[in-house]
Amino acid sequence: MTAKQRILARLQSARGGSRLPRVESPALQAQVPQSAEACRVRFEVEAAALGVECYVESSVAGVHVRLAKLIDARRVLSWDPAQLPYAAGGLLRAPIQGTAGRTEQATAEIGVTGCDAAVAETGSLVMFSGPGRSRTISLLPPFHVALVDRANILFSMADVFERYRERIRASASCTFITGPSRTADIELTLTLGIHGPGRVAVIIGP
């Protein structure tokens, strides 16, 4: 018998099921459908509570201006520019991309990404791994800027799971980013930017 067979056999004969309490569960409150506008507003509130800088731009030009301002003179590590929304990729001058060596990627001072969805209820950004969108971009630099298409702000994580079940399964990874990297391991004192970015900004476009 293999280890798997022995473990499963022990579990079968354990009949733990008979000793486990049986529980009925009450109905969960149904989620009240939220308008896109309500989602955006809620996202802003949650992001602010997390210390995430949230910029809402009503024009593509506004998105570009904001991004340029945040980038300033920083060395950029970016998604494949063609995958950034609002044609923002056009602003970037020869950014380091996820195909570069990791040592080079680690020299970047700002990471620029889009995102696949955002979660209003928690202020989270959702990103799937894939070509042209290395996971390192939102992780290695000390400053991460995410461009969010307003139409992609869902209300809850449950909504994301429902819509993207297949994509979650098909992707190597799906990451929910909820604020900057943090730790409170030392005397419960909050410190930001331990391994991931300590500064996160979101630009929500039209």
Partner 1 sequence: MSTFQLRVHRALDDSKLAGALANVSAQLRTRRTLAFQSLPDADAVRDHARKAKLDTLRDLPAHLATFEANLRANGVHVHWAEHAEDCHRIVLEIAAQHQVRRVAKAKSMVSEEIHLNESLERAGLEVVETDLGEYIVQLAGDRPSHIVAPIIHMTRADVGRVMHDRIHTPMTDDPATLGRFAREKLRQVFLDADMGITGANFGVVDTGTICLVTNEGNGRMVTTLPRVHVVLMGIEKLVPTLADLDRLLKLLARSATGQKLTAYTTLISGPRRGGDDGGPEAVHVVLIDNGRSRLMASENAEILGCIRCGACMNVCPVYTSIGGHAYGDTYPGPVGAVVTPGLRGLDGWADLPSASSLCGACRDVCPVRLDIPRMLLTLRRDAAPTHAPRWLRLAMAGFAAVVARPRAYRAATAVLRRVLRRSAVDGWIRQAPGPGRAWTTARDLVAPASTTFQQAWRDRGVR
Task: Looking at residues 78 to 117 of the shown chain, list those that interact with partner 1 (rule: CB under 8 A).
Answer: 97-99, 102-103, 106
**Binding to partner 1, residues 146-175 (CB under 8 A):** 156-158, 161-162, 165, 168-175
CA distance 20 to 103: 51
- Residue 183 tokens, joined: 């730790």
Shortest Cβ 96–partner 1 spacing (Å): 12
Q: Is residue 179 a contact point for partner 1 (CB under 8 A)? A: yes
Q: Select the span of 22-30, 35-43, 58-66, 109-117 touching partner 1 (CB under 8 A).
A: 22-30
Q: Is residue 11 a contact point for partner 1 (CB under 8 A)? A: yes
**Binding to partner 1, residues 33-62 (CB under 8 A):** 46
- Pairing of the two strands 199-204 and 53-56: parallel
Cα atoms in the Cβ-side hemisphere of radius 13 Å centred on 122:
15
Q: What is the DSSP letter of 5?
A: H
| CA-closest candidate to residue 138, choices 112, 170, 108, 173 | 112
Candidates 20, 32, 73, 82: give the one binding partner 1 (CB under 8 A): 20
